[in-house]
A and B are shown apart, each in its own frame.
Chain A
Amino acid sequence: MILPIIRTAIVSLRRDRAALALSFLLPIAFFTIFATIFGGMRDSTPKVSVIVVDEDQSTGSKQLVRGLLRESSLVVMTRPSSKEKTAMPDYTAATAEAAVKAGDAPVALIIPKGFGQNPISFGPAQNGSAIQLLNDSSDAIAPQIVMGMLQKVAMTSMPVTMAEQGMKYTGQYIGGLTPDQKKRMETNLNSLRAIQSKGQLDTAASSNDGAAGGIITVHARTVVGENKKSPMVSFYAAAIGVMFLLFTASGSAGVLLDEADSGTLDRVLSSHVTMTSLLAGKLTYNTLLAFTQLTVMFLWAWAVFHVELFSHIPGFIVMGLSTAVAVAAFGMLLASLCHTRAQLGAISTLLILIMSSVGGSMFPRYFMPPAMQKAGLFTINAWAIDGFTKVFWRDLPVSALWPQVMVLLATGIVLFLVARRIARRWEFA
């Protein structure tokens, strides 16, 4: 019973040129516009998550970490978050790099052993003491912010070290201080040490204006996307694709309303076709339509914007189908809820635009405040985009997609079951 329904729907679509244009051309046009305009955009000042690994464990490195922890513009993680009560072990250089690759944070700072001996350099860096900054190149803003904050914190959280290093450089370059000068300097430094040991230096309250870089040497290294040609294009292929999938799915599911109006639905249900098989057929058709639409979108992205589609086929298929199931079921739910086409058009447009903006289809979610980022998790867009990002940006294997696949498939199943329940109003009088 499902095949005839699919066949009928395909033929109907082929004859509806407006629907065809809406399904394939409009999303490509929209995607092209967004990819062209925003492809190189980097202008925002978000709150940045940063992983910090202190391999040195010296007084200086601890002061630096404490200073970073106090920065309100940073979310510093020294260990992976755990929902269980047992604390997770601290990040190491290796696990921090893996975490950046997995997208847990856009930046990681590794404070190497020996950093405390020469934490600050007013000249060329000492070998081995440079802090390593590992970053994900999909977020070019985060490493810049972390770099600046690091210099600022060094200036404000390690006054003693700064003074000691200053003394050292004074001795090295101008021949040292007189005994009186040294004595006075030591007295002042002791006072400063006492204040610092009591934790009375409020580094976080200090001005950002003094964060000129350079006193801490940082070696930055890109660990994700270093070889990608167009960082934002694969993101927008998924983001815009999902948004238009939602529109197409709700429009396609709206055929149910037309059929109910024309009496065709009654006639179909008076045959051997049951409401469950009818809806299952339409869900299958809408899923295939959505998947085809995504495929066309990514083929376009591959041809014009060089997205690496063919090296990511398994991940694309898994994410494409999971996303297609979820959006198809979403469309069917909307159609079963609405009583007229006009109602469906209005409600679906509203819902989809909200979902798309919160879910990251219009702007990456990492640009958004944390609360909105969490709200985005209630949208199909966010999970789909996260999955496609894992595939095309982080080059993660299919097995790493399970959270996104599970959520999308579960969403699809639940929405379909609710739609089936609501569709009882068409079933019998």
Chain B
Amino acid sequence: MGSAPAVPALAATLPLAIDALAKRFGTLTAVAGVSLEVRAGECLGLLGPNGAGKSTVIRAIVGRVIPDGGRISVFGAAADTAQARAALGWVPQELAVYPRLTCKENLVAFGSYHGLSGSKLAESVAWCLEWAALQDRAGDLAGKLSGGMKRRLNMAAGIIHRPRVVLMDEPTVGVDPQSRNRIFEMIEALRAAGTAIVYTTHYMEEAERLCDRVAIIDHGRIIALGTNRELVHDAFASRSQVLARFAGAVPQITAWVESHGGRMVDSTAEFSIERSIQIAALLDSAATDGLELEDVSLRRPNLESVFLHLTGRGLRE
């Protein structure tokens, strides 16, 4: 993460460069100085609680939101130019396809909107149908497809013009594990072909699996940026988490937990320890103080731990 303006020469070769992006809606500051870069073949995860500003960033990149400040460039071109639009593909969270058109007709329509025609359009449609594993459903109405197939069609419509930068906004919402795995394969195929991807999701395991780097955004700002390993290390160093549940009066348990450097999350006590051996000392102390242990586990911090650590556990909406 950095706040310095992008270097023009570098920006021209970068698939996507965002510099100090800002956007306000009335008195609400949705995005406050976001800067990001995405390289070719890289998948950047954009994570954040609801209302953190993820969608505003994505919509600003595709030109659906006019920023109040900052700069977005796609291979050096401003985001609202035809050159940038040709290079950008957008898979919105909504199933933004025509329900009364078939899969093929949908792809033809969106391809036409992107200026494709003739054999180039036909080739792209065929490629997209294969990429989304929808060849056998090419003539089926979009509105009649299963949830997973609709999602795949929604993705295919976003890349019909073979963009080099693809923005995916929660593309796996509401799909079964089989379809999700297929979607992962589709995304990996794109990345392998050199496509730069920005991927927003609320599923941390998806981000861990797919994303080379992750940016966590909250209150319109990037609060963490790096690889999964870097984020965990930055947040927890080499520490692990001990999760323990005790029987008894909650006030007494809470007081004991806080006196030992932990915190209560729901009905579970959380402690951060440097070495595994520290568990024994904790449990001894609990037994000495008369707490009855029900359950205990040791957990290595992961992306979800980082996310909750940085954004808190309080409900946002």
Contacts and interface: CB of A to CB of B under 8 A. Distances in A.
A271 B66 contact: no
B191 to A, nearest CB: 21
Contact of A428 (B66, B86, B108): B66
B110 A267 contact: yes
Contacts of B157: 267
Contacts of B92: 263, 266-267
Contacts of A270: 62-64, 85, 88, 90
Interface in B189-209: none
A219 B161 CA distance: 77
B250 interface: no
B65 A429 contact: yes
Interface stretch (B111-119, B223-231, B235-243): B111-119
A1 B110 CA distance: 11
Given A11-B101, A15-B100, A272 B113 contact: yes
B82 interface: yes
B64 A266 contact: yes
B113 A263 contact: no
A375 interface: no
Interface string A385-415: 0000000000000000000000000000000
A343 interface: no
A175 interface: no
A245 to B, nearest CB: 22
Contacts of B65: 428-429
Contact of B97 (A7, A264, A429): A264
A86 interface: no
Interface string B64-105: 111000000000000000100110101011111110110001
Contacts of A263: 92-96
A11 B59 contact: no
Given A11-B100, A428-B64, A428-B65, A273 B113 contact: yes
A269 B100 contact: no
B100 A268 contact: no
Contacts of A11: 98, 100-101, 105
A39 B144 CA distance: 47
B113 A271 contact: yes
A12 interface: yes
A16 B113 CA distance: 23
Interface residues of A, number: 22
Contacts of A268: 110, 113
B141 A264 contact: no
Contacts of A123: none
Contact of A4 (B62, B93, B112): B112
B113 A4 contact: yes
A4 B109 contact: yes
A172 interface: no
A8 interface: yes
A270 B167 CA distance: 12
B64 A272 contact: no
Interface in A1-45: 1, 3-4, 7-8, 11-12, 15-16
Contact of A266 (B66, B95, B96): B96
A262 interface: yes
B157 to A, nearest CB: 7
Interface string B260-278: 0000000000000000000
A236 B59 CA distance: 50
A268 B25 CA distance: 23
Contact of A264 (B59, B82, B93, B96): B96
Contacts of B101: 8, 11-12, 15
B33 to A, nearest CB: 19
Given A270-B90, A429-B59, A12 B98 contact: yes
A1 B98 CA distance: 17
Contacts of B114: 271-272
A272 B115 contact: yes
B55 to A, nearest CB: 10
Counting from the closest, the 10 A-B pairs by CB-CB distance are: A263-B94, A4-B112, A15-B100, A263-B96, A271-B113, A267-B96, A270-B62, A264-B96, A12-B100, A8-B109
30 contacts: A1-B112, A4-B108, A7-B112, A8-B98, A8-B105, A11-B101, A11-B105, A12-B98, A15-B101, A262-B94, A263-B92, A263-B95, A263-B96, A264-B96, A264-B98, A266-B96, A267-B92, A267-B96, A269-B64, A270-B62, A270-B90, A271-B85, A271-B110, A271-B113, A271-B161, A272-B85, A428-B65, A429-B64, A429-B65, A429-B66
Given A270-B85, A271-B110, 19 more contacts: A1-B113, A3-B112, A8-B101, A8-B109, A15-B101, A15-B141, A262-B95, A263-B92, A263-B96, A266-B59, A266-B92, A266-B96, A267-B96, A267-B157, A270-B62, A270-B64, A272-B82, A272-B85, A428-B64
